[in-house]
Amino acid sequence: MKQLTSTAWIADFLASDPPRSKSLVMTIFGDAIAPHGGTIWLGSLIELLAPFGVNDRLLRTSVFRLAQEGWLVANRDGRRSSYAILPQALPRFERANRRIYAPLAAHWDGNWTLVLSGAGSIDAPERALLRKEMLWEGYAMIAPGMFGHPASNGAILEELLARVGVKDKLFVCRASALPGVSSRPLQDLVQDGWDLSGVVDGYRHFIARFAPLLDLLDTDAAPAPEQAFVIRTLLVHAYRRVQLHDPMLPIELLPDPWPGSSAYELARAVYARTYAGAEAHIMATLRREDDGAPHADAGFFQRFGGLTDGDAPGDALSDAPGDAQTASAAAR
């Protein structure tokens, strides 16, 4: 049987699970454009999207819709157009990036953050938007009008409530078990508030799909810059789709073993083996239209705990099913 190559892996992925163009544009802006100043000429963006089968028409429709939704802003210079991350959207990109690239490190101190609305304190549109944003941030609806999370970030919550326009209309507090009163353990709220089965399945599917790729990257010649960019983008796109549904619960409240830990280490290893080639392709593409396009900022190199070509997943895939356990742990 012919040995699978990185090229064949890419072709199979794009044929079996082609990314939606608008979502793919979001991935590329967050992963590749934001570190380079957050702005790109439309011609360069068309060139970056071409290997994914996204044509000019689909791309123009996607960026137009993202601009309408408040993610991007368009600028014209004569007959040319550029797109940039809207300043108001930057905190959301940064928050998503922290979730994607930061290791699982939250520990539980026994407390919960509760967000409560009083009777009639917010109207129906505010309530609907609040629910959407709170669930996206990983909170569970503990009871009608009450959201809770055992590892809340106060700064992120403040920004979320301000953006929704309800920060002066809600009660926010920390709660813990009352000593001397018999009750169910507070950790039981995890089972009541979150169904983690979909997230678990998503992580396991990610591992099964990308572990063979890691083996290829450890045995084949280094992929060409454009291939490295495609692989890195597909990796982040697939990982992001699962990870942004993860409520990011503290380690002590997660099932053991937790496949999210294995998925993170796998993503880190594949990213480490492709980021340099991908950066070469990104810079070459950007500078065809903009001689002054900046190199990636310092924060980029802190992703996944610090980028080095020698990163490897070690024993972190030991709980993964099937082919995931065959991923090589040897660095190139």
Report the C-alpha gap between 72 and 292 in whole angstroms. Answer: 21
User: Whose CA is closest to 130, among 96, 193, 172, 95?
Assistant: 172
How far apart CA 15 and CA 126 sit, in angstroms, is 41
What is the predicted pLDDT for the residue at 84?
97
Mean pLDDT by 10 residues, the chain (332 residues): 75 94 96 96 96 94 95 92 94 87 85 86 89 91 91 88 90 89 83 92 97 92 94 97 91 91 96 96 96 94 81 39 32 30
> Could you tell me whether strands 112-117 and 146-149 are parallel, antiparallel, or unpaired per DSSP bridges?
antiparallel
What is the value of pTM for the model shown? 0.85
Identify the pLDDT of residue 3: 57
Peptide bond into 257 cis (omega under 30): yes
Sheet-wide strand order for 112-117 = 140-143, 146-149, 112-117, 170-175
CA 156 to centroid of chain Cα atoms? 16
Give all strands (DSSP E) within 53-145, no chain letters: 72-77, 80-85, 112-117, 140-143
DSSP secondary structure letters along 197-211: HHHHHHHHHHHHHHH
User: Burial letters for 94-127: b for 16+ Cβ neighbours within 10 Å, e otherwise?
Assistant: bbbbebbbeebebebeeebbbbebeeeebeeebe
